[in-house]
Amino acid sequence: MDNKTYEEDFKMIRSAIDGAKNPMNQLGGFFKSYAIINMITVVLYLIVSLYQGFVREIYIGRMICFVYLAYYIFRMYKEEKSNTNHYYQAMLYIYGSVVVVIPVILWIAGIIGSFTLNNEASQAGKMLEMLMNLQVFSAIILLSVSFLIVSFVRDNKIYAVCAIGNLVVYLIAFAIDQELSIGNIVIHYQDLYYYVMLIIGYMILAKCIRKE
């Protein structure tokens, strides 16, 4: 009788542990998918810059990647909406806002800007540039938040240091505001850091948050 009770208790404990791990595994899967999508985006950008062609095909490819990412986040929220952890749900809202909502706003702003008159073009361009900077900065902030999440889950302060370092390095690069020119490719240092960290950073986080 006692052995049966112990077995039932053990199963309950194991179920609780697995239930607690599942959201982090979901988040780890998102980190990996986000890193791969960013890698594809960078490759497509390089193709356009180097060969000055395939613009329409590249645009379609980027839209497919974006739709997949939006679907992934929506699926995560749908699967985890019954989760009683409100902090985790709020976290999904934040990721959805940065990864989906802000790019959509940029896309709409770009369409509106293409129909503006000549005397309004400069103002529309400045607004679009401001929105793009907001997208980049919010993505960097989100990466630092992700490092903090992993630091909490793994109880390792190194990730918290990485979170602070990530933000500091980006702000320094943004303050310097210098350009790197390689052939047809001209990119600001802060944008280069942004692309590199959104690939390498999330690959590292995906591996670490799911590490047993």
The owner of tokens 């190194």 is 158
The three-state DSSP-derived secondary structure of the chain is: CHHHHHHHHHHHHHHHHHHHHHHHHHHHHHHHHHHHHHHHHHHHHHHHHHHCCCHHHHHHHHHHHHHHHHHHHHHHHHHHCCCCCHHHHHHHHHHHHHHHHHHHHHHHHHHHHHCCCHHHHHHHHHHHHHHHHHHHHHHHHHHHHHHHHHHHHHCCHHHHHHHHHHHHHHHHHHHHCCEEEECCEEEEHHHHHHHHHHHHHHHHHHHHHCCC
How many C-beta neighbours within 10 Å does residue 204 have? 18
Q: How confident is the model at residue 196 (pLDDT cuts 50, 70, 90)?
A: very high
Asked if residue 200 has pLDDT above 90, the reply is: yes
Of residues 57 and 190, the one with the higher pLDDT is: 190
Asked if residue 161 has pLDDT above 90, the reply is: yes
Q: What is the pLDDT of residue 23?
A: 60
Asked if residue 1 has pLDDT above 70, the reply is: no
Asked if residue 14 has pLDDT above 50, the reply is: no
Q: What is the pLDDT of residue 103?
A: 77
pLDDT in tens, 78-87: 776 665 566 6
Q: CB of 58 within 8 A of CB of 47?
A: yes
Q: What is the pLDDT of residue 140?
A: 92
Asked if residue 172 has pLDDT above 90, the reply is: yes
pLDDT in tens, 104-156: 777 777 667 666 655 555 666 676 677 777 888 888 998 998 898 888 878 88
Of residues 187 and 11, the one with the higher pLDDT is: 187
Of residues 107 and 71, the one with the higher pLDDT is: 71
What are the backbone dihedrals phi and psi of residue 83, each rounded to the nearest 5 degrees, phi first?
-65, 130
Mean of pLDDT values over 72-100 = 73
Judged by average pLDDT, the poorest of 13-27, 96-110, 176-190 is: 13-27
Q: What mean pLDDT value characterizes the chain? A: 76
Mean of pLDDT values over 33-54 = 81
Maximum C-alpha span of the chain: 85
Mean of pLDDT values over 189-194 = 89
Mean of pLDDT values over 34-57 = 79
